[in-house]
Amino acid sequence: VTEPLEISILGAAGRMGRTLIRLLQAQPQRYRLCGALTIAADPLLGKDAGLVAGGEACGVPLVADAGTALAHARVAIDFTLPAATADHLRACASAGIPLVLGTTGLDEALRGTLVATARTLPVLYARNFSVGVTLLTALAQLAAARLDEDYDAEIIEAHHRHKVDAPSGTALALGEAVAQGRGGALATLADWSRHGDTGPRERGHIGFSVIRGGSIVGEHTVLFAADEERLELSHRAVDRSVFARGALRAAVWLAGRQPGLYDMHDVLGLHIAQ
């Protein structure tokens, strides 16, 4: 009989954190919550993390010290804010706790810290933990590699009104996949927005359109539009538990791995040849 995997949740009082805790509690044979981190200013500090998540009391209080939250963990899962990412990477590295990181909107400097930390710690970073989106990314790269620049590539995404970064991390990952498929770099190919006197579309560019509204969980389409035909690859997340489920699957996969920077493609063993 294998013991339940001991997991710390960083950002335990957030939307994703609460969803993760409810999922953990639903499978006590597989998972055990052993630490729950929030911010010092959180009025819920000290409250039982299970109750805060809308589930059963579990005897794990919300704490504001990362070392305390990580003390008994075999793996940590972080869905917070980019402002917290460097601290959380440092805390996990010094405690030797592998980290599943889902926070989006990391800048160039944080990506550097991520890569540097992963030299000594197993870190799995995914901007979208859904199996469907991971597959969509691989398919977008495959399509871009096969369809030449007669096919204009556009990425359209829609999210709820609370989302603070745009385009979504997933849309960026899709853009990178298309750029990679074509042997280019997104930074030089992206048309982030269009307004006013834009001139005609540039061949080979990758356009982005962003929709924000209501409670949309997450929708992404990669469009390849040529004169004679259009290919649209679309994914719709209908419940945010899809991300939490994927993050848990990633945590199980990551615990006990060698140091390195991994993503959901590794978890799914997805290696689509171009």
Ligand X SMILES: NC(=O)c1ccc[n+]([C@@H]2O[C@H](COP(=O)([O-])OP(=O)(O)OC[C@H]3O[C@@H](n4cnc5c(N)ncnc54)[C@H](O)[C@@H]3O)[C@@H](O)[C@H]2O)c1
Does the protein bind ligand X through residue 8 (CB under 6 A)? no
Rule CB under 6 A: say whether 262 interacts with ligand X. Answer: no
Contact call for residue 14 and ligand X (CB under 6 A): yes
CB of 208 to ligand X, least distance (A): 16
CB-wise, 18 or 182, nearer to ligand X?
18
- The answer to whether the beta carbons of residues 38 and 11 sit under 8 Å apart is yes
The structure tokens listed for 17 are: 């954190």
Query: What would the 3-class secondary structure string for the chain be?
Result: CCCCEEEEEECCCCHHHHHHHHHHHHCCCCEEEEEEECCCCCCCCCCEHHHHCCCCCCCCEEECCHHHHHCCCCEEEECCCHHHHHHHHHHHHHHCCCEEECCCCCCHHHHHHHHHHCCCCEEEECCCCCHHHHHHHHHHHHHHHHCCCCCEEEEEEEECCCCCCCCCHHHHHHHHHHHHHCCCCHHHHEECCCCCCCCCCCCCCEEEEEEECCCCCEEEEEEEECCCCEEEEEEEECCCHHHHHHHHHHHHHHCCCCCEEECHHHHHCCCCCC
Exactly one of 81, 95, 142, 186 binds ligand X (CB under 6 A); that residue is: 81
The reply on whether position 129 binds ligand X by CB under 6 A is yes
Tell me if 127 contacts ligand X by CB under 6 A: yes
Number of residues this chain uses to bind ligand X (CB under 6 A): 23
Which residue's Cβ lies closest to ligand X? Answer: 14
Q: Which of the residues are catalytic?
A: 159, 163
Q: Which is nearer to ligand X, 192 or 198 (CB)?
A: 192
Interface residues for ligand X in 37-56 (CB under 6 A)?
Answer: 37-39, 42
126 belongs to the binding site for ligand X (CB under 6 A): yes
Does residue number 84 form part of the binding site for ligand X (CB under 6 A)? yes
Q: How far is the CB of 42 from ligand X (least distance, A)?
A: 6
Per-residue binder mask for ligand X (CB under 6 A), 199-238, x = binder:
----------------------------------------
Mark the segment that binds ligand X (CB under 6 A) among 124-132, 178-186, 192-200, 201-209.
Answer: 124-132
Enumerate binding residues for ligand X (CB under 6 A).
10-11, 13-16, 37-39, 42, 79-81, 84, 102-105, 126-129, 243
